[in-house]
Amino acid sequence: MDFMNDPIGWLAWTGVHLSPWKLIGLTGASLFGARWLVQALASRRQRKPVIPRLFWYMSLAGSAMTLAYFLFSAKQDAVGVLQNLLPTFTAAYSLWLDIRHRGWHSAARGQVPRAAASPVASRETRGLAAGGRASGA
C-alpha cells in the first residue's frame, strides 16, 4: 500500500504534492465542513432550524474518510484518530435514527411522514379506523 503515500505523478507539474491518502483526507475534511452549509441552507429554506438527512450522510462520509486518512496513511496520528472516531459513530447513529424515524425515502422528497406531521389527525384517524368517533372541535 505504499503507492497510497507516494505523490500523485500527474500533479507534479503544478507544484502540488498530494498523495492519494492526503486527497482522501482533504476530501473528507471538506465534506465534514461543508455539511454546515447544507444545514444552513435547509434551515433558511424552512425558516426554522432543521438538520437534513444529507447533513448526516456528509458527516458520516467526511469523518470516515478523515479517520481512514489518520489510520492508514503514513501520517498515523493518534490525535486525528481520536478527533474523527467519535463523530463517525455519532453520525452513523444519528443517520440510523433519522431513517428509523422518518423512513428511508421521506427525506429524498423532503417530506415528513403523515403520522409525524399531524399527531392529532393520526389519533383521530386511528379512532375512526377502530370504530370510534372523531373528537370534534
Under the banding of pLDDT at 50, 70 and 90, the label for residue 106 is low
What's the rounded Cα separation, in Å, for the pair 48 and 40?
A: 10
Average pLDDT over residues 113-118: 48
Residue 77 dihedral angles phi and psi, to the nearest 5°:
-100, 120
CB 51 within 8 A of CB 58: no
pLDDT score recorded for residue 130:
52
pTM: 0.69
Type of residue numbered 97: L
Cα angle value 115/119/121 (rounded, 5°): 85
List Cα–Cα distances, 20 to 2, 15, 34, 74, 119, in angstroms: 10, 16, 21, 11, 50
Does the pLDDT value for residue 128 go beyond 60? no
Across 28-32, 48-52, 117-121, least confident range: 117-121
Residue reference for cell 437534513:
52
Which pLDDT score is estimated for 118? 47
Q: What is the DSSP string of the chain?
A: -GGGTSPPGGGGGGT----HHHHHHHHHHHHHHHHHHHHHHHHHHHTS----HHHHHHHHHHHHHHHHHHHHSS---HHHHHHHHHHHHHHHHHHHHHHHHH-SSHHHHT---HHHH-HHHHHHHHHHHTT-PPPP-
Mean per-residue pLDDT for 67-73?
91
